[in-house]
Structure 1
Amino acid sequence: MSNYAVYKKWIAKLKKNQKLSHQKSTTPMMAQYFSIKHKHPDMLLFYRMGDFYELFFDDAKIASSVLNIVLTKRGKHKGEEIPMCGVPYHSHENYLERLIRRGFKVAICEQLEDPASAKKRGSKEVVKRDVVRIITPGTLTEDSLLESKEFNSLLAIMCVEEEVGLAWADVSTGNIEIEQCSIDQIQNSVSRIRPKEIIIYDNLEKKDTIKGNLKEWSNRVTYISGVIPKLNNLLLKLCDAYSVTSMNSYGHFLSSELYSLGMLVDYIHLTQKNNFPKLKSPMRFSNTSVMLIDSSTRGNLEIMETVDGKREGSLISIIDRTKTAAGARLLASRVSSPLIDVEEINNRLDQVEAFCKKSDKISEVRLLLKNTLDVERSLNRLNLGRGSPRDLLAISNSLEQIPLIKMIIQSLNNCLEINHKSFFFEELENFGDYKVLYNELSSAIIESPPYTLRDGGFIEKGYSKELDDLIALSQGAKNQLNSLQKKYSDETNINNLKIKYNNIAGYFIEVPIRHGDSLLRDKGEALETETIFYHRQTMTNSMRFTTDELDAIQRKVIESNDKIKILELDLYEKLVSLLKNEAENLYLLAGAIASVDVASSLALLAIQEKYSRPKIDNSLSFEVIGGRHPIVEKSIHNQTNSSFIPNDCELNSKKNDGGGKLCLLTGPNMAGKSTYLRQNAIIIVLAQAGSYVPADSATIGVVDQLFSRVGASDNLSRGHSTFMVEMIETAAILNQATNVSFVILDEIGRG
């Protein structure tokens, strides 16, 4: 039984018992733990204890096994020792990442006050703690937990009568979309969205029907228990999230769409607590604007992942030459949802052609893109209050590249004869250079800032005179310590007397233990000119002391450092506020830069792999000359250093050469028939995504739907024979396909 299965079994047991009972002998700290754990029974609870997050009972057993850390004991409960394990606070993200990858949800319980504040309320009072965030696979925001080249989508599914509403968001970027579909189309939509987590109401009437369509994604489903909220209550939360009085300003929504959107926002509220992310306006995903590809066809063509579920070896891995994370995500989105509008497709192809014609600009722009970091995710972390000085630096470095990228784009525009009224990169040209914002950020943040705010020291010298003065005051006090150490060493004749510092004791004087007694003289015996040493601590090999003079310097240093931290945080918040004010434009700018990345990377792909620009129109033509399968071609080259043998495919009923809409392919085993079928389907996907294609030439009439019937299906596990499965799926294709659909069938009816 897997660790996750063991954990789910414990959760079921815990829910049945309703709560962890505790005896009167339970300590106040454990009583607090039980109270918090009872509210989060289906999650691992990271309970903050000083510099560690600690886990207890079955949480500890599960975590110690998954993380391979020591399982120890802490106190007793009901006469038995309490299992416990812990992870350091400063490096907890490494452990979180491993737990999240295994499907666990983690509740982060923080200390809301320091121990001194708790003691003021009473000697037996415990430090106030509460859950400040719930981390789930679909609500990640930290770079260390995210796949940079993939969307981290959270999908909500709601059914109202026969309508199914889908709403999905990437909390790390703020992107949010909605879609309406039928129940039997859920699987196809989910395979396109590829969510990291799916949420469904446990009491949903059609839950079992929906569940049946999510078989391949069952390990990503979270069922929300309790009574399903009324739509009006969810609408209030939606309006609050978007600071509007009505959602009508965003367009007309069906009840199922509003329900799923409200459900999505409600779940984000639940997991993010008081730090709600900046969500962009909900965008409607239209099935009528993209090529429809069913889930089995996506798998058969290995568009986003191989049959083994890996990115390496898939179509996206073969064609991805992007330099930015946002560019990689945009490319994946385009390949996953190819367009069916001829003008829009050609617009994208024009972008690629621009770089192909001015190939010297490709390397130039890629050098700049390399220094353009993930602005979207940095902005959203700052909006959530989870940002760091490094996010400010990332945005600053990205803004620095904008004027240079714009110059390259302008040179591309000037060299092309484009018939459109405006070129694709005009959106980028319309943006300002953000020189003021860049100058502010670059003058404020040092070149290598710390990862966290609490480390401090991230403001550049010269940015704030007040801060510089405080730092000088603190440094001056610290410099006095060197003089003081020499003075005490000379005065006591102890050459190895040292002034040291640690976080607990602060500054202290340390001498070898053999010299300690000489400093322990009666204070009344000391001369007025002699320093009085006050004993603080005896160690195994040394003794520690302090003096009035050292204490005075320490107070000065602490006071200065406290003021420095407060001022640095204030300056940081002002910089964040500046970025928040420009957030909308910066999001658009990030999108424009991602488009440049995709265009330049596809141009590089075309040049390196000898791809050609396809001719896209609204005809019924399909003519590919010298076509190649990009995945197989790459595999052959890597394994044998040999070349793929190109081939043609012509399906054109208007020609008088005997051609038509049907190609019946025969040949011996291992002749490459299956490769040929998939190859032509992949060429269509690439062309309508806006990419050049692996062929000498290609003329493609826009395809609205792509179907395949290749290999066995999971329906075999439902008791259907191979022949029955093939007939059912072929019938479905015939019922759904139009005159501009593309279908590949491999050995149909062989059973």
Structure 2
Amino acid sequence: MTEKTPMMRQYMSIKEKHKDSVLFFRMGDFYEMFRSDAEDVSRLLNLTLTKRHGIPMCGIPYHAAQNYIGRLLNAGRKIAICEQISLPKKGIAVRDVVEIITPGTVVDESFLDKKSNNYLAAIGKVSKVMTFSYVDLSTGEFMAASCSDNHPQEFIRKELSRLGPREILIQESLFDEAYFRSLSNKSGLVLNRIPDWLFDTDSSYRQLTEQFQVANLKGFGFQADDPAIAAAGVLLEYLKDTARHYLTHLGGLKKYSEDLYVSLDDATQKNLELIRNMDDGSSSFTLLNVLDETSTSMGARKMRQWILNPLRSKTGIDARLEAVSILYKNQILLSEIRSVMSHILDMERLSSRIGLDKAHAKDLLSLKDSLKKVFEIEKILEKAEGFSPICTPVMKTTLQNMADQLEEAIMEDPSILLTEGRIIRKGYDSSLDELRELKNNSRAVLDDYLNSIKEETGITNLKLKYNKIIGYFLEISKLQSDLVPDHFIRRQSLVGAERYTTSRLGDLESGINSASEKIVELEKSLFIAIREKLKPEIPVIQELCNKLSELDCYSSLAYTATIRGYVRPQIRDDKSLLIEGGRHPVVEAHLPPGEFIPNSLHMDDKTSTFALITGPNMAGKSTFLRQTALIVLMAQIGSYIPADQAVIGTVDRIFCRVGASDNLARGESTFLVEMNETAHILRNAGERSLVIMDEIGRGTSTNDGLSIAWSIAEYLLEDIRSKTLFATHYHELTNLEHDSLMNLSLSVQETGDDIVFLKKIKEGPANNSYGIHVASLAGLPEEVVSRARQILESMELHKQNSTLIIPETQPVQQQDLFSSDEIVLDQLKSVNIDNMTPLEALNILHSLQENLKN
């Protein structure tokens, strides 16, 4: 095989159209890859790379392709599936790409995280306005937004952090690979350059109205000149090109409005560890891990969305809290719902596979079984006060008809392959039943036919035989040949007999010989027809899934509140923040029951809106800051909270600037990152925001840091006037005076040279930072700790007389390898009490006591 063979010319022609994808080139029972694709894939998948006529090549079996495709997707590759379309009588097979699988467009469950959405996003700019859209092809969710403020990069950074897309389409003039990769936590992120001219509002508008078969997009909330449409149109075009299929399950384009949700920038999402921890990026030790007790995959994805999109509206929050409260107060109802819900499969993604013609028979069987469970939940909810039915009467009729049809059509334990048959239930189609009867009982069918012919003709010695030359035939002795009816067709004459056939016998023979093939073909056509009938009902299934996932979230939050001792917060439309006995939900969940030390916080609507918190490191400042933010966030997603009681005034944004981090890849030091995040807060925070700031200014010199921290505190107090918790190690800040400021600190118990961190918040500033004690607890060498105490004493003296004299280092006495205590203990262990008189025992005790004194 050389570059000049017809097959390689065909390969090169197809590859030219798909340069950015790995081309899976079907040859018989294998997908073959050539040249650079072969070199790349062999390295990624550990496959043997061979050469033929100098052309690198490798291949994978057709039946095992799914496993290899999944690994390539995780590595950030796109795969173009090139199949044999037809086999002409002459020349090579006709081949073409039938599908392009990319990380952002995959719908196969084996390639997806069942608890997370799989987003594809598009970013562009139209008339100086940032246009942004995202879609999850596996669920049908399709959203668009635009941002016209002065800081569109902050909007994009926040959205990409919230969504975590696996693939992004970026307008060419905005393309900056290093920048966009720095915003993602996805190792296999795919970035695509899209020509600027494709981000066109007019052409996108036409595409979208055609897709949704509407005259305009006003019903979806978009005007014809809305910049958000441009990114949505680019996404739609990309989906059509990759799926090579009409996207019937994209029910409609929705407008994402930031005004409906509490804004959480990327730093806040990270610092509060909402869905990913800062250690390994997993969901362990996160708020999601604590709250997600959902029973379905749909509910798990919804819970993730709720945590990242807390509500601003008091009405919406109270509605969720009321639903959680009903279940919380009725534990029997809660248990029944959770039990039935656990048997409902992922109908949301299943409906998408129906729309894309990727659903197999077991998928439809799962849909039927899940719908039956939905009807059970409906009956349970009928006896629950305060809950509306999941289904409207029209929905219920549609879903019941769907379940009945699937019950009638699909057999139990069907094959997932259309090429195997074993899909359609007996009795659904009479033609199929006849073919199966023919295949399974061919001898009985022939005997029945023979008996009917004997009865019809009166030829008693009529026989039905078979040979390989003429097939099935009827044999009659020459003595009865005069009884042969006219429709008999002579096939062969023998000395004493005549052989005949009939049109019916010919049909039976043809049927018996081709029954298996016909069964498979008929089952396939029947199944496809059933699947097609379901497509118009996909919007009904999607609406059902939305309601089910919400119910699952309510039951999850009620269950979490039950097992963790949470209470219902009171929600207000003001700036109050009153928390009695608040606890950190994540830290508490990983401690033995009762070990977490609760703390309270009282911030009213007009005064005491700024809490300045001082105290030593390790005393619990950061935990208290984070727990306050998490409690507010939990309340605004509609969850019960870890506290004795609470009054939460709704916030529009939460900002959390805690911890130290750098971004060396972008040339940003720890202090620069800290200042960038702080500048973002000061630009965007408002009076109804909650601001959490921890140790601002520690990344630079003491005087610079103190000056910056002081100035920031004043700006928050006087200009922004947000609810603020401001933790600092600069005790000078406690001299700040303002009507809205209150000083809080962490309690410390001192006993001689020892201190105990009580981890309790108290009113008033801290007296000491106890830094040297913390250093000692951390295990610094005694020489270092002792020297630090000497220098500290000199510095404190300097404050009094303005003369700083650093004392000379005093040698620390080297301790014996074994202390006297250890020696005495060893002596005591070696004493044989059973062989001693009382006097000997007293003498040894006196000796040991003297050793300890010395």
Which deviates more, 223-232 or 353-362?
Answer: 223-232
Which deviates more, 242-251 or 378-387?
Answer: 242-251
* C-alpha displacement of 1:226: 4.5
Alignment deviations for residues 486-519 of structure 1 (CA, whole Å, 9 cap, x no partner): xxxxxxxxxxxxxxxxxxxxxxxxxxxxxxxxxx
C-alpha contact (below 8 Å) 1:327/1:597 kept by paired residues: yes
C-alpha contact (below 8 Å) 1:716/1:725 kept by paired residues: no
Alignment of 1:614-633 (within 5 A): 614-633=569-588
CA distance in 1, matches of 2:439, 2:122: 53
Give 2:754's aligned residue: none
1:606 aligned onto 2:581: no
CA distance in 1, matches of 2:211, 2:379: 39
C-alpha contact (below 8 Å) 1:234/1:262 kept by paired residues: yes
Determine which structure has greater relative contact order: mean sequence separation of CA pairs < 8 Å that are 6+ residues apart, divided by chain length.
1
CA distance in 1, matches of 2:530, 2:298: 23
Distance 1:27 1:330, change over 3 A: same
1:45 aligned onto 2:23: yes
* C-alpha displacement of 1:702: 0.3
C-alpha contact (below 8 Å) 1:478/1:557 kept by paired residues: no
Amino acid at match of 1:442: E
Alignment deviations for residues 676-726 of structure 1 (CA, whole Å, 9 cap, x no partner): 111111111111111111222221000100001112344565555544543
1:92 aligned onto 2:65: yes
CA distance in 2, matches of 1:721, 1:67: 38
CA distance in 2, matches of 1:105, 1:479: 54
CA distance in 2, matches of 1:429, 1:402: 14
Q: Secondary structure of the residue that 1:700 maps to in structure 2? A: strand
C-alpha contact (below 8 Å) 2:662/2:669 kept by paired residues: no
Tell me which of 79, 94, 98 is aligned to 1:128.
94
Amino acid at match of 1:188: K
Distance 1:366 1:610, change over 3 A: same
Amino acid at match of 2:436: I
Distance 1:227 1:194, change over 3 A: closer
Alignment deviations for residues 252-296 of structure 1 (CA, whole Å, 9 cap, x no partner): 345421110111111111111234352121111111110001100
Tell me which of 625, 632, 656 is aligned to 1:677.
625
Residue-pair matches, total: 633
Alignment of 1:500-515 (within 5 A): none
**What 5-or-longer segments of structure 2 have no aligned partner?**
447-493, 496-506, 700-854
Q: Secondary structure of the residue that 1:173 maps to in structure 2? A: coil
Alignment of 1:176-195 (within 5 A): 176-181=142-147, 182=149, 183-184=152-153, 185-195=155-165
C-alpha contact (below 8 Å) 2:76/2:190 kept by paired residues: no
Give 2:552's aligned residue: 597
TM value normalised by structure 2: 0.70
Give 2:105's aligned residue: 139
* C-alpha displacement of 1:339: 0.2
* C-alpha displacement of 1:732: 2.8
CA distance in 2, matches of 1:424, 1:736: 39
Alignment deviations for residues 598-649 of structure 1 (CA, whole Å, 9 cap, x no partner): 1111111111111111111102111122222122222334xxx773222222
Alignment deviations for residues 159-206 of structure 1 (CA, whole Å, 9 cap, x no partner): 11321111111111111011112423210122122212111122x2x4
Q: Secondary structure of the residue that 2:109 maps to in structure 1? A: coil
C-alpha contact (below 8 Å) 1:425/1:592 kept by paired residues: no
Tell me which of 47, 52, 59 is aligned to 1:69.
47
C-alpha contact (below 8 Å) 1:139/1:170 kept by paired residues: yes
CA distance in 1, matches of 2:112, 2:197: 31
Give 1:686's aligned residue: 634
CA distance in 1, matches of 2:108, 2:421: 20
Alignment deviations for residues 107-140 of structure 1 (CA, whole Å, 9 cap, x no partner): 1111112xxx32x2x2xx1111111111111101
* C-alpha displacement of 1:88: 2.4
Give 1:497's aligned residue: none
Give 1:458's aligned residue: 423
Give 1:562's aligned residue: 517
Q: Secondary structure of the residue that 1:278 maps to in structure 2? A: coil
Tell me which of 143, 146, 155 is aligned to 2:121.
155
Tell me which of 372, 385, 390 is aligned to 2:344.
372
Distance 1:244 1:601, change over 3 A: same
Tell me which of 181, 198, 205 is aligned to 1:235.
205
**What 5-or-longer segments of structure 1 have no aligned partner?**
1-21, 417-422, 482-526, 529-551
Give 1:442's aligned residue: 407
Give 1:493's aligned residue: none
Which deviates more, 169-178 or 445-454?
Answer: 445-454
Give 1:165's aligned residue: 131
C-alpha contact (below 8 Å) 1:187/1:214 kept by paired residues: no
Alignment deviations for residues 231-270 of structure 1 (CA, whole Å, 9 cap, x no partner): 4333332232222343344333454211101111111111
CA distance in 2, matches of 1:437, 1:252: 33
Distance 1:155 1:561, change over 3 A: same
TM value normalised by structure 1: 0.79
Tell me which of 197, 205, 211 is aligned to 2:167.
197
Amino acid at match of 2:602: E
Amino acid at match of 2:130: V
Amino acid at match of 1:222: L
* C-alpha displacement of 1:149: 0.9
C-alpha contact (below 8 Å) 1:707/1:743 kept by paired residues: yes
C-alpha contact (below 8 Å) 2:209/2:216 kept by paired residues: yes
Alignment of 1:3-402 (within 5 A): 26-73=4-51, 75-76=52-53, 80=54, 82-113=55-86, 117-118=87-88, 120=89, 122=90, 125-181=91-147, 182=149, 183-184=152-153, 185-202=155-172, 204=173, 206-208=174-176, 212=179, 215-217=182-184, 220-226=189-195, 228-229=197-198, 230-253=200-223, 254-307=225-278, 308-402=280-374
Give 1:664's aligned residue: 612
C-alpha contact (below 8 Å) 2:125/2:171 kept by paired residues: no
CA distance in 2, matches of 1:310, 1:361: 33
Distance 1:361 1:62, change over 3 A: same
* C-alpha displacement of 1:558: 5.0
Q: Secondary structure of the residue that 2:691 maps to in structure 1? A: strand
Which deviates more, 214-223 or 321-330?
Answer: 214-223
Amino acid at match of 1:312: S
Q: Secondary structure of the residue that 1:373 maps to in structure 2? A: coil
Amino acid at match of 1:391: D
Q: Secondary structure of the residue that 1:42 maps to in structure 2? A: coil
Q: Secondary structure of the residue that 1:412 maps to in structure 2? A: coil
Amino acid at match of 1:68: N
How many percent identity over aligned positions? 38
CA distance in 2, matches of 1:717, 1:586: 46
C-alpha contact (below 8 Å) 1:325/1:374 kept by paired residues: yes
* C-alpha displacement of 1:429: 7.3
CA distance in 2, matches of 1:221, 1:402: 38
Give 1:513's aligned residue: none
Tell me which of 660, 666, 691 is aligned to 1:743.
691
